[in-house]
A = this chain, B = another copy of it.
């Protein structure tokens, strides 16, 4: 009952049967007689036998584990995604190995390598901001380890991914503001190096065109997402000849910085200037001066879908080691969510 865990061998010896019989009995293999099956089961229970997962993993070449590599565990978006991943993996009897890249490409590469060596059955990755090479992903493909990318997708062909379609949300955001009567709408976007910036911009432009409004590029300014730079960006917009009465910002934090700055200039946030942003952090519902709406990206859903896809892939692989399979490309639609009235 104590010390070392019971093994199939010990059970076999005590019962005077072979290990294979015990193994089969515990798996309810049909070729084992019902009486021996029961004897084995009884003794196994009594001895508190539990299969040694490492031995099984080794034997089968499968670990029933999926690896997850993300930039930063403590970010709300990712922790929600991981939570979903763990939940869905658990339901299908998989376990989850995590690691964070801290947005460092070198570390990401190391982690991929480590995950491969620890023989995870598949990998879920949200790539680091700095990642510019993709050889480590090719390597996974060579070793037949399925990968599903989520949220931050590398620019590669023939990959599985789930991402969030920013466009719908962006269009909704602009429509929302137009509908509220705003005619000059500014945008404080993120750095051009981020793909997300491009998408937001696209949405903005599309919405304008769709509504037959002229699109003024000078109403879009970029910032590096810092407090300082946000102020500058806002100042630029406020000095614009067609001073905007509403602004779409890259994310909630940028909105908050901008709002703080605007207020310090005596701008009336209820009347003169409204903000809409991305992320939909729970906290904006608690605030007095916050974006009036924010584009939700559904991290939980994204994590869930990504995990589902990966697990499907793992099942498929057992049945058919096909190479010419289709690729999952799932887009979850972002959605504008109005802040709760305070």
Contact = CB atoms under 8 A, between A and B. Distances in A.
Contacts of A86: 73, 98-100
A55 interface: yes
Interface in A1-56: 1-5, 50-55
Given A256-B286, A342-B260, A73 B63 contact: no
Interface in A40-89: 50-55, 57-58, 61, 63, 65, 72-76, 78-80, 82-83, 86-87
Contacts of A118: 53-54, 65, 95
A3 to B, nearest CB: 7
Contacts of A283: 281, 283, 286-287
Contacts of A260: 286, 342
B117 A52 contact: yes
A202 interface: no
How many chain A residues sit at the interface, stated as a range, is: 35 or more
Contact of A116 (B50, B76, B113, B119): B50
Contacts of A4: 143
A161 to B, nearest CB: 22
A97 interface: yes
A285 B256 CA distance: 11
Contacts of A74: 76, 79-80, 82-83, 300
B83 A100 contact: yes
Interface string A92-122: 0001111110000000000001101111000
A279 to B, nearest CB: 12
A90 interface: yes
Given A52-B117, A117-B51, A119-B54, A83 B73 contact: yes
A287 B95 CA distance: 39
A99 B96 contact: yes
A113 B72 contact: no
15 contacts: A1-B142, A2-B143, A3-B142, A3-B143, A3-B144, A51-B117, A53-B118, A53-B119, A54-B58, A76-B76, A79-B82, A83-B100, A96-B97, A97-B98, A283-B287
Closest 4 CB pairs of A and B: A79-B79, A283-B283, A73-B83, A53-B118
Given A73-B83, A74-B80, A87-B100, 11 more contacts: A2-B142, A3-B144, A54-B57, A54-B118, A65-B118, A72-B83, A73-B82, A79-B79, A86-B99, A95-B118, A96-B97
